Structure 1
Amino acid sequence: MNINETIPPELLVLILDYIYADAIVSIPLAPSTPPPLDHHPLLDMMLVCRSWHQVIMSTPVFWTFIWIGAGIGPQSLEARRLKGLLGRSGQLPLSVMIAPERMERTEHFHTAHEALRGHFQQVETLSLVSMDKKTENMPSAEDIQQLLQHPLPSLKRLNVGGFYISLPLFGQSIRLEIWIDSPQLQELSCHHHFIFPKSPLHLISISLTLDSSTHLSLIPNSIDLPLLLELRLTRCKLGTLLSAFITPSLRRLFVHADVSRSPTRPELRPYPKLEELQWTDKGPDPTFSALLPLCPNLIRYSNYLVGDEENIELQHIDTPAAIIGLLSGEPGDNHAPMTPSWPKLEEILLDVGQCDDISVLVDAIPSLKRIRILQNFATRSDEETRQREATLLPSLREMVDIAFWLDPWGSNLGMHFEATEGV
């Protein structure tokens, strides 16, 4: 019996939709390598028979993802072919990924721009993917600006990768600052360049990876982000951004800073719903000390980024965590001891510490239930200090659950005085 007599076209479309979606939905907004799309995800199905080929070619939902610049051969940058691929989507939402540095010539970017010209209103996901971080044959800053100046009324997810644009005569890398017309944007990931919606009212998630040379000259004094739930800032001008962002609904804040650079204590707004704070600890930081008292509903705090434990050079950390200095009023912060204002704080994760630090936290924060320390200072000390730590630890464990390195909570495995593999 012919399979097409058993499976009607409507059921075939549903089955193929699962296969297509499985190939597309797993591709992250900012892939670090080209997706496995050397050909159409359903090419093998198209080759089964003419009937299946016709079903796939005529079903718009199977043409809603397009990868431009890599993964589908040099012929992918022909204007006629690009327009044909985009046209098969009908009016359905599009997911578009462009790899500018993978294009052999700058006119390739113009070709992609022209092919998209009649479809910007359909674009729901747009990613300018960074693969090689090279500047040869890259589109100019003007090219990128022209692309992003088109209204994007349906755009919900935007990623601008860390591709570099150099000035033609001087070879100097420049960073763009562009405000785009995308009122429905919900997820924003930006690297190297600052690309932001003119109307950010629907943003739920923001991830910015910038550096001190990014001027942010056009950023206003206040940006209202009423629905923002998660904010990630890497190597950014923290005082500038945190002072400008109004985030009454923010739940999770992640900050990765190379060094503590904030010269002055900024004026920040309260974070009434912030529950999780991860802030890499580089010593006393006026921005950090200004923000911490403004989080009355904080539940979890970490002075490193969770998941990055293997990359922390613990052996080079020789000072107490910044939060310990704030709570105890130690020299270096130039302030009296902070009065804790976190009645719900249950969990604290520190890169390094010792039993005296645990005592400070337990005494200052009655709600504390769990403390994790990746490495105890005592592992680098003399035998007498290590014995003192071992003596203090049991009494502290009666008051709070203490875990070392990546031991599970409640394991009570004892203190690691031996070097842990990978630490």
Structure 2
Amino acid sequence: MLRKWGVHTTHPRYFGLFNPTPTWWGIAGELLAAGVNPQLAAYSHAPAAVEMERHVLRFVAGRLGLPTAEGSFTVGGAEANLTAVIVAPTRRFPAYAGGGLAGLARRPVLYASAESHLAWLKIAHMTGLGRDAVRLVPTDSRHRMDLAALRELHRADLAGGFEPFLLIGTAGTTAGGALDPLPELARQAGEWGLDFHVDAAWAGAVALSDRLRPLLDGVELADSVTVDAHKWLSAPMGAGMFLTRHPDALAGSFHASTSYMPAQSGQFPDPYATSVQWSRRFAGLKVFLALAIAGRPAYAEQLERDVRLGELLARRLSEEGWPRVNDTPLPVVCVADPEAESQGPEHSAAWHAAVADHVVSGGQAWLSTVRLAGRPALRLCLTSHRTTVSDVEAAVTALNQARKAV
């Protein structure tokens, strides 16, 4: 049933969302974690498991330029980003921990790009901020957060009696792979006294490559960062990571004490007291094993290879009359057919959807449709370590055949 009724995300021609082809070491880690089944709520119950996770988190934090950061593994990026939205007001508003939003004089608001992952809306709903507290900032021609629009929104919020508390930069948007201007956002957050969070759920992986690491310049200035190992680091789902340079605020957000939990031992707090989750599986083992066995250079090689394949795909599609409509160095390629676009956005959206459906239903590849600033397009993303040049050529052929058929 799983083979017949499911998208095969591990296939080398899966060019869809950030779902990984897991490595064998990651799969082995899942099997070991399930078999031993350690409980990571309390340090004293699973010290080896907790230390392995801490080792991975310190390693990733170091590559991001946050060597003193603390954090935790999460189910995914949404939980990690939820953690950021809980930690930021805990740090900024002394009355928040006890009195919640009712204890604040003004309504808090946060800022994220209109092209960011809209889990922010769900997070605002869950935390009681309300969805209207999320300011989705318009983007520029490269689909990055527009700094002038951000400043205008901030001025309006101050004039309207709101309390800005968090600015979010996205490193690798889901739709088009855009990289927000992180250094400028960090400076702006510092000037306004806001926490600065970077959602690098996907593109944070490039920190493992010395050549690609400059794409994340500015992330080292963040108060907190989200990275998902189950995206471009090829770990089985789910393996999100939340990192913060403010461990006291993290502990202040989630501390709890009960008689049925063992007393804290050692200098580090128990995981249940520094994360959203209480009972938690050993999610970090699959990442620990893969990094220990393959090593950082092997990951860097794959990341750099994927970027080259993305460049090849964009070039080949352009040669075949599919101009690229997104601007990113990351291997997300969005293209649109000029003739379909010339007949208006409604026709273009229907036409591109029909082309995607033709390719997918034919079993040649999996790709998706997307809208970038409202512009319909086809989206292909390369993150599988199994994808080769021949798979790229097959995708180009499939798109050309679909264009003729539609």
TM-score (norm 2): 0.25
Structure having the higher helix fraction is 2
Structure showing greater radius of gyration is 1
TM-score (norm 1): 0.25
The structure with higher relative contact order (CA 8 Å, sep 6+) is 2
